[in-house]
Structure formats: structure tokens, C-alpha cells
């Protein structure tokens, strides 16, 4: 495995951990992880890249080694953190970004908000979440109030081997070796709940439990689409052929096409034998699609 090194980025409200691979003098590539993931899981893709890159991979606030806030998180905060990362690692030019899931959603939003700062981007299964409608608001706010009274907790596993088995159970394309690696980065020793809901210590997911709290604000697809229409750079959509995200879109005829039409310059690529975590499932194919696009 290619060795990585760690840095910290101190912002006014949070300290971010940043994982680096490669030569700092090489072209810069930002790799953005998704929800309940960490920067270290890009290792498989990094090992498959052919050319030299200055790779910058943050852990979002509340994930992995980055600072945990112990309170609800709001999506716009991550957009602010992304701008701080671009300011730090690409202050004089436009940046290349590849993001998975939440990381891809954030990359697409940032590219529309700051179109002059992004040269090209690859969105791996980051096509925006399911649409909402106003009638959902009362229940959403009720869920929010309930969460404030009873904060979320992580499920506890007996050991990291049990955590690895959980990863293998939810992703049929994941290998045992990769599951073992991920279990050492996606989990930690901490407090959570067992199957009976009782508090206990053991192996838990390596993220602030407050990330599990449902936002009181409804996702407004129309706002995202307005931002996507302002993107000036070429964009590559990458989807896993067996992904649950793709199945969700299939249940909403026309939604995929409407979102894709917001991007002025976009191509669409598919990876076989891959679920949503396609950078875990088929890292060589992901690395090839990223490098071919940025070359």
C-alpha cells in the first residue's frame, strides 16, 4: 500500500484531519469521502492510480480523526469546510475533485457556487438525495425534537472482526482483505448501544453519532438543480451497476434524467459488479475512470 501522511487544518469552528498521498509538487487531486466513511478508505483507489498525484483527502468534521462537535451537523458547514480546503491546497488555481456519495454531492454544489475554482470533477454516486415535499415537514420537525431529547448512539460490535463481517454482509462485492482494512479505520473503541438498546462499550462506527440525526430541514431538490446549472467545468457521473442508489432512481421515472440535464458538460459511466461503495468494490475501475477524465 502507498503510504499516507497526516496533517491538520485549523478552522475557526473545527479542526480537520487531512490525509495526504504522493508528491506535493504533482498535480493536486481532492478526494472527498461520503457519509459514515473516512479518508483512509480511498487507499484502494490510490494504490491503483498510475500517475503521480498530490492527493488531498480530508475527513469531514465529525468523522474519523477530525474534530467531533457532539451536536447536530448541518450540510452547509461541509461546504464551508470544502472552500477552506480549496483555499489551503489550491489557492492560485482551479482544482480537480473526485467525491463519493456525500462527497460527490458537496463537490457538485461547490462547483456551482464557485464555478471559477473547479477545473473538473468526478461524482461517484453523488447525484443528490431523494426529493421531499412540504407535507413531510411536520413529521420531520417532530423527529428533530425527539432526537434532541434522546441523542443518537452507534451500534456496538463485539470486536473488529464482527465489524468486518457487518461490512461484508452489506456489500457482496467487498473482499475479506478490504473489509479487514476498513474495520481498522471505519471503527473505533467507544460507547454505543447493543441490540437491546442498552448502553455498553465495544467497537463502534468511527463517526460522531450526531451525524445520524435527521435534519429538520427538507432537502429541496430545486435549489440543488439551480446550483448545478451554474457549473462551468466538465463533470463525470459514475454509478455502480448494482447500486441501491440506482434502484431508488428507477422507482422515480424521469428523476435521473432531469438531474443529469442540469449539467452543461457531463458524461455518464457505469461500473459492473459494484454497489454504492464502488471505490471499495472496484477500486481499479474507479481509479481508471478518474485518471482518464483528469488526464
pLDDT in tens, 186-234: 999 998 887 777 788 899 999 999 999 989 999 999 999 999 999 999 9
pLDDT of residue 198: 76
CB 8 within 8 A of CB 15: yes
Whether residues 200 and 112 share a domain: the answer is no
Whether residues 270 and 200 share a domain: the answer is no
| Structural domains of the chain, count | 2
Question: Taking 90 as the threshold, does the pLDDT of residue 92 lie above it?
Answer: no
pLDDT of residue 39: 98
pLDDT of residue 24: 94
pLDDT of residue 105: 98
In the three-class reduction of DSSP (H, G, I as helix; E, B as strand; rest coil), residue 263 is classed as coil
Answer yes or no: pTM beyond 0.85.
yes
Whether residues 25 and 47 share a domain: the answer is yes
Question: Domain ends where: 178, 194, 212?
Answer: 212
* CA 71 – CA 208 distance, rounded (Å): 9
Whether residues 204 and 225 share a domain: the answer is no
pLDDT digits (tens, 9 = 90+) for 284-295: 999 999 999 998
Question: Taking 90 as the threshold, does the pLDDT of residue 3 lie above it?
Answer: yes
* CA 202 – CA 204 distance, rounded (Å): 6
The CATH code of the domain that includes 101 is 3.40.50.1820
CA-closest candidate to residue 120, choices 291, 235, 26: 235
The string of DSSP codes covering 19-43 is: EEES-TTSPEEEEE--TT--GGGGH
Determine the average pLDDT of the residues in 152-168.
95
Whether residues 201 and 243 share a domain: the answer is no
* CA 127 – CA 237 distance, rounded (Å): 8
Question: Domain ends where: 212, 232, 262?
Answer: 212
Determine the average pLDDT of the residues in 84-101.
95
pLDDT of residue 191: 87
Whether residues 104 and 70 share a domain: the answer is yes
CB 230 within 8 A of CB 261: no
Comparing 64-68, 78-82, 188-192, 239-243, the range with the smallest average pLDDT is: 188-192
pLDDT digits (tens, 9 = 90+) for 49-66: 999 999 999 999 999 999
Calculate Rg over the CA atoms of the chain: 19
CB 222 within 8 A of CB 166: no
DSSP state of 234: -
Question: Domain ends where: 183, 212, 241?
Answer: 212
Q: 244: left (phi > 0), else alpha (psi -120 to 50), else beta? A: alpha
- The domain of 156 spans 136-212
CB 94 within 8 A of CB 119: yes
* CA 9 – CA 81 distance, rounded (Å): 10
The string of DSSP codes covering 119-174 is: EEEEEES-S------GGGHHHHHHHHHHHHHS---PBPBSSHHHHHHHHHHH-TT-
Q: What is the mean pLDDT of the chain?
A: 96
Amino acid at each position: 500500500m502507498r503510504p499516507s501522511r497526516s496533517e491538520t487544518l485549523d478552522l475557526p469552528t473545527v479542526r480537520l484531519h487531512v490525509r495526504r498521498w504522493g508528491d506535493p509538487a504533482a498535480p493536486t487531486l481532492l478526494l472527498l469521502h461520503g457519509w459514515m466513511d473516512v479518508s483512509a478508505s480511498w487507499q484502494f483507489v490510490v494504490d491503483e492510480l498510475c500517475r503521480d498525484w498530490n492527493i488531498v483527502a480530508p475527513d469531514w468534521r465529525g468523522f474519523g480523526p477530525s474534530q467531533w462537535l457532539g451536536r447536530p451537523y448541518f450540510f452547509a458547514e461541509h461546504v464551508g469546510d470544502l472552500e477552506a480546503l480549496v483555499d489551503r491546497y489550491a489557492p492560485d488555481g482551479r482544482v480537480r475533485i473526485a467525491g463519493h456519495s456525500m462527497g460527490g454531492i458537496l463537490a457538485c454544489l461547490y462547483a456551482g457556487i464557485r464555478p471559477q475554482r473547479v477545473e473538473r470533477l468526478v461524482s461517484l454516486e453523488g447525484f443528490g438525495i431523494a426529493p421531499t415535499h412540504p407535507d413531510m415537514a411536520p413529521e420531520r420537525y417532530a423527529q428533530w425534537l425527539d432526537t434532541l431529547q434522546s441523542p443518537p448512539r452507534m451500534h456496538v460490535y463485539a470486536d473488529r472482526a464482527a465489524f468486518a463481517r457487518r461490512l461484508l454482509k452489506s456489500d457482496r462485492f467487498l473482499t475479506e482483505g478490504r473489509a479487514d482494512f476498513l474495520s481498522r479505520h471505519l471503527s473505533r473503541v467507544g460507547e454505543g448501544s447493543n441490540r437491546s438498546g442498552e448502553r455498553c462499550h465495544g467497537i463502534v462506527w468511527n463517526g460522531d453519532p450526531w451525524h445520524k440525526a435527521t435534519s429538520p430541514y427538507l432537502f429541496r431538490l430545486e435549489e440543488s438543480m439551480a446550483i448545478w446549472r451554474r457549473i462551468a467545468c466538465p463533470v463525470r457521473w459514475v454509478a455502480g451497476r448494482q447500486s441501491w442508489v440506482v434502484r431508488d432512481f428507477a422507482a422515480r421515472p424521469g428523476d435521473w434524467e432531469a438531474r443529469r440535464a442540469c449539467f452543461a458538460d457531463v458524461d455518464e459511466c457505469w461500473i459492473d459488479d459494484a454497489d454504492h461503495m464502488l471505490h471499495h468494490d472496484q477500486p481499479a475501475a474507479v481509479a481508471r475512470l478518474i485518471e482518464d477524465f483528469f488526464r
